[in-house]
């Protein structure tokens, strides 16, 4: 306790924001796996499972756009706490009798969860810009990488936790345990977070929601296709394939995806060591080009070899490593290039594109898998990465 009290105010706020983000991410990852596996167990088709997340992603797009504006007006502590409160409501909606868990009801709960998640993420990422001195770009890259990497590690643990809880206590009690954890986190956050963090000295006009900076626009467009490329095969197609084609139990599906996301998060956290501390926007196209080949090779291997488990395992490792570097570079560059005054607006616009990419990927994941199988999802993934690489090449030419 004495060591904590001796920390600087900025570092204390960083630790509080990170802890808040960690708990939220853990429950969000568990919720994703619970919903996918529970409704697959009930006999829902891959496309119907994807539709359960439709509003989650749609409202994520809207929230990131408006959330950055709200963060500039209200302060990032308030948008983060509002996000936690909304997530508590969303999870509580899933505690109703099983007969009331209709597609429409779950979609509404997921809509609220999408709002909550992106308010929380936008607030956490924006806050780092304000807590790190403007001249300390190396430190900024390091702290952004740690926050991003640890978030995804916790999300991976959440995947495993979701599958495990579904096996151990069932859907209802798993949700109840997460509600209790979030309520405790919310109370601590209300008491401890700095009141004016990120609040601008002026009220930004509504028409400033859309970025006019070429660097922010290029970064956002590349992010959209990058995350579409991941989710088009990872969100619905992969867990359903593992369950139906390879016969994995729920905890095995959750465990495998958890290990992948945890490893991916660890690589993100160490990205500055891998790429060098002074990364810049010229790096993006190079790393995207490396990633392009992985899903295409996986699709070919699935078609010509009779050991899909080995193909997926090797492919997941390679894709996860390269995707983690790409994602970490993106996360650093948007925070680095965002304007310090009203940082949440640039970050919110960027993560709006991120959410739109996830929306596209999620819908295509269910639709393509149901009609054409996992190989088609992987081919589309490669195409999206190629587009992201082309956009990144144009980004490198901007001033």
Alpha-carbon distance 336 to 220, whole Å?
A: 14
Q: In the prediction, which pLDDT does 248 show? A: 85
Fold of 9-196+210-396: Growth Hormone; Chain: A; (1.20.1250)
Q: With bands split at pLDDT 50, 70 and 90, how would you rate the model's confidence at 197? A: low
Looking at the predicted structure, is the pLDDT value of residue 368 above 50? yes
> Rounded mean pLDDT of the chain?
80
What residue segments make up the domains of the chain, in order of their start?
Answer: 9-196+210-396
> According to the per-residue pLDDT averaged within each range, which of 33-42, 126-135, 201-210, 354-363 is highest?
354-363
Q: In the prediction, which pLDDT does 68 show? A: 65
Q: In the prediction, which pLDDT does 144 show? A: 74
Alpha-carbon distance 22 to 25, whole Å?
A: 5
pLDDT in tens, 100-134: 778 788 888 888 888 888 788 777 767 666 666 55
User: In b/e form, how buried is each residue of 3-21, taking b as 16+ CB within 10 angstroms?
Assistant: eeeeeeeeebbbebbbebb
Q: Are 64 and 349 spatial neighbours (Cβ–Cβ below 8 Å)?
A: yes
Looking at the predicted structure, is the pLDDT value of residue 149 above 80? no
- Determine the average pLDDT of the residues in 160-187: 87
> According to the per-residue pLDDT averaged within each range, which of 62-71, 72-81, 386-395 is highest?
386-395
Q: C-alpha distances in angstroms, 325 versus 136, 334, 338? A: 21, 14, 20
Q: In the prediction, which pLDDT does 217 show? A: 84
User: Which of 257-266, 275-284, 289-298, 388-397 has the least mean pLDDT?
Assistant: 275-284
Count CA within 13 A, CB hemisphere, residue 124. 29
User: Which of 254-263, 305-314, 318-327 has the least mean pLDDT?
Assistant: 254-263
Q: What pTM does this model have?
A: 0.75
Q: In the prediction, which pLDDT does 388 show? A: 93
- Contacts of 71 by beta carbon, 8 Å cutoff, 6+ apart: 79, 122, 123, 126, 198, 344, 345, 348
Q: With bands split at pLDDT 50, 70 and 90, how would you rate the model's confidence at 218? A: confident
**Of residues 49 and 5, more confidently modeled:** 49
């Amino acid at each position: 306790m004495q060591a904590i009290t001796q920390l600087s105010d900025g570092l204390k706020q960083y630790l509080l924001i990170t802890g808040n983000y960690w708990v939220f991410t853990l429950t969000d990852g568990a919720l994703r796996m619970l919903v996918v596996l529970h409704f697959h167990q009930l006999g829902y088709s891959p496309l119907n499972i994807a539709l359960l997340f439709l509003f989650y992603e749609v409202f994520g797009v809207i929230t990131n756009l408006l959330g950055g504006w709200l963060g500039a007006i209200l302060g990032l502590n308030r948008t983060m706490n509002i996000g936690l409160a909304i997530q508590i409501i969303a999870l509580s909606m899933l505690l109703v009798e099983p007969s009331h868990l209709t597609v429409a009801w779950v979609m509404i709960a997921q809509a609220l969860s999408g709002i909550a998640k992106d308010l929380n993420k936008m607030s956490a990422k924006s806050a780092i810009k304000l807590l790190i001195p403007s001249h300390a770009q190396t430190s900024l890259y390091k702290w952004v990488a740690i926050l991003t990497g640890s978030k995804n590690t916790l999300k991976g643990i959440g995947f495993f936790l979701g599958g495990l809880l579904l096996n151990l206590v069932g859907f209802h009690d798993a949700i109840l345990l997460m509600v209790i954890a979030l309520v405790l986190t919310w109370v601590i956050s209300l008491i401890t977070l700095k009141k004016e963090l990120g609040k601008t000295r002026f009220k930004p006009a509504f028409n400033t929601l859309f970025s006019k900076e070429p660097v922010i626009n290029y970064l956002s467009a590349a992010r959209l296709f990058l995350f579409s490329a991941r989710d088009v095969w990872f969100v619905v197609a992969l867990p359903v394939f593992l369950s139906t084609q390879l016969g994995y139990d729920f905890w095995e599906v959750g465990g495998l995806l958890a290990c992948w996301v945890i490893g991916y998060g660890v690589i993100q956290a160490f990205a500055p060591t891998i790429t060098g501390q002074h990364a810049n926007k010229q790096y993006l196209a190079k790393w995207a080009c490396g990633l392009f080949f992985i899903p295409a090779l996986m699709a070919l291997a699935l078609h010509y070899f009779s050991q899909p488990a080995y193909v997926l395992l090797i492919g997941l490792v390679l894709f996860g490593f390269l995707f983690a570097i790409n994602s970490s570079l993106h996360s650093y560059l948007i925070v680095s290039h965002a304007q310090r005054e009203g940082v949440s607006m640039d970050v919110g616009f960027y993560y709006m594109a991120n959410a739109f990419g996830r929306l596209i990927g999620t819908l295509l994941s269910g639709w393509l898998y149901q009609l054409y199988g996992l190989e088609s999802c992987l081919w589309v993934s490669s195409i999206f990465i190629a587009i992201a690489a082309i956009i990144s090449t144009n980004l490198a030419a901007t001033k």
